[in-house]
Amino acid sequence: MSEETNVIRLHEKDNVVTALCDLAPGVPLKLDEIGVVTRELIPFGYKVAIQSIAPGAYVMKYGVAIGVALRPISPGEVVHTHNLKSLAERYE
């Protein structure tokens, strides 16, 4: 992993990125000048918002909706089961 890269964005439509390592609070996300700083610990492999996501709005990863925000999610905040309702259950 390059020292300059700490997250990966899988599709241009995504409003979350995936952490490529553990990220402490206050760490700038190094991706295309997005200007987002982590607000909390982001564990390796977790999603982090790169823009504000309103309650009820889709969380986008891989260019598709993977879930719906349960509450406001700020840029730099971890996105996980506490603030995301997965859409996967629709397909079970």
pLDDT digits (tens, 9 = 90+) for 9-66: 999 999 999 999 999 999 999 987 788 999 999 999 999 999 999 999 999 999 999 9
Q: What is the pTM of this model?
A: 0.89
At 91, the amino acid letter reads Y
Q: Cα–Cα distance between 17 and 50 in angstroms, integer?
A: 7
Do 79 and 27 contact (CB within 8 A), yes or no?
Answer: no
**Hey, what domains does the chain have and what are their CATH numbers?**
1-92 (2.30.130.110)
